[in-house]
């Protein structure tokens, strides 16, 4: 098979060459990697011409419309779990293309990052770091988390781990999910969760139903001592409303690993004076989670051998 990645990033190249390109070429396949951004849809379609399959990292956004169909691709191997956000499944089905992903590849890593952001905000770590580096010695006042309520929005693979970690810290944990989940915590309605929680941690997929779901009304229910953590997707939150709350000091702070535009453009970040911990979408970036690249490559090998795995229906 001839496989191409049209949306590669330099930061992943060494991993991909070692864990994907080398095994594929050893098995007799071709794997080409492009880091340059495609100028437009036509350029993207042309870049995939002559290949049988697509290896999708997703950092440059969704697969351009028409690329799968016009190139009659047989396989789309997505690096991660949220393939439906990046791949038009209807278009893939129209040409019989198989779409694979890497299920549950980084739930532990993302859950740990959510907890790390929670501590960073509660104990005002970013502010404290700045104080020490500036030569000052001002003592800022943080929040003790044990005994406080953690509200987890979305109790899938990541959310259930955050629930367990929160309980391990001695927090009172509740969750909201569209349906009951087999977790050891009570399910409450969203309004109650936002009204009663000291920390709200978001773990929802981004789709048509969740776009803007955490809006101004829900955010307005947070208390002055509340913390919002988002390691899911920025699009599920009304970020203008959140930034207003932070700028006004209406909530204690926020820990954000995701942004509508990545990297963020000027004027979209919370006020510099706000108690925030911001990270560049690195929730899944651990040595263990980087196995996602290898597994996406193994999905290609399995498909080529006639025994596809991790197929999205």
For residue 275, the SS3 value is: coil
146-156 burial, b at 16+ Cβ within 10 Å, e below that, comes to: eebbbbbbbbe
Helix residue ranges per DSSP H, 169-238: 190-196, 216-219
Which of these is catalytic: 123, 181, 281, 285? 281
Known catalytic residue: 281?
yes
Known catalytic residue: 203?
no
Please name the residues in contact with 268: beta carbons below 8 A apart, sequence gap of 6 or more.
239, 259, 260, 261
Distance CA 281, CA 259 (A): 8
Phi, psi (rounded to 5 degrees) for 110 = -70, -40
Give me 155's structure tokens: 């109790």
Which of these is catalytic: 47, 233, 235, 298? 233
Count CB atoms within 10 A of the CB of residue 10: 7
Phi, psi (rounded to 5 degrees) for 293 = -65, -45
**Which of 13, 53, 9, 7 has its CA nearest to residue 30?**
53
Known catalytic residue: 18?
no
- With residue 302 as reference, give the H or E element that holds it: helix 291-304
Report how many helices (DSSP H) and strands (DSSP E) the chain contains, helices first: 13, 11
| Active site residue ranges | 233, 262, 281
């Amino acid at each position: 098979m001839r496989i191409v990645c049209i949306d590669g990033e330099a930061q992943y190249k060494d991993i991909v060459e070692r864990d994907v390109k080398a095994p594929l070429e050893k098995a007799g396949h071709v794997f080409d990697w492009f880091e340059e951004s495609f100028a437009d849809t036509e350029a993207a379609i042309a870049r995939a011409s002559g290949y049988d399959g697509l290896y999708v990292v997703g950092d440059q956004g969704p697969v351009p419309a028409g690329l799968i169909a016009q190139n009659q691709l047989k396989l789309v191997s997505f690096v991660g779990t949220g393939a439906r956000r990046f791949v038009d499944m209807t278009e893939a089905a129209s040409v019989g293309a198989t779409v694979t992903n890497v299920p549950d590849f980084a739930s532990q890593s993302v859950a740990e990052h959510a907890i790390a952001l929670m501590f960073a905000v509660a104990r005002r770590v970013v502010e404290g770091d700045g104080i020490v580096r500036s030569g000052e010695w001002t003592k800022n006042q943080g929040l003790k988390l044990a005994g406080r309520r953690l509200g987890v929005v979305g109790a899938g693979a990541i959310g259930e781990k955050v629930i367990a970690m929160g309980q391990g810290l001695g927090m009172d944990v509740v969750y909201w999910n569209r349906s009951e989940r087999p977790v050891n915590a009570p399910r409450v309605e969203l309004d109650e969760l936002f009204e009663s929680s000291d920390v709200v941690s978001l773990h929802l997929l981004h789709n048509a139903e969740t776009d803007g779901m955490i809006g101004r009304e829900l955010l307005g229910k947070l208390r002055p001592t509340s913390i919002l953590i988002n390691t899911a997707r920025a699009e599920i939150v009304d970020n203008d409303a959140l930034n207003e709350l932070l700028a006004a000091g209406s909530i204690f702070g926020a820990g954000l690993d995701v942004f509508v535009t990545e990297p963020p453009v000027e004027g979209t970040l919370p006020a510099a004076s706000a108690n925030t911990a911001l990270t560049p979408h690195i929730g899944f970036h651990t040595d263990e989670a980087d196995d996602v690249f290898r597994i996406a490559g193994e999905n290609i090998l399995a498909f080529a051998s006639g025994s596809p795995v991790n197929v999205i229906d």
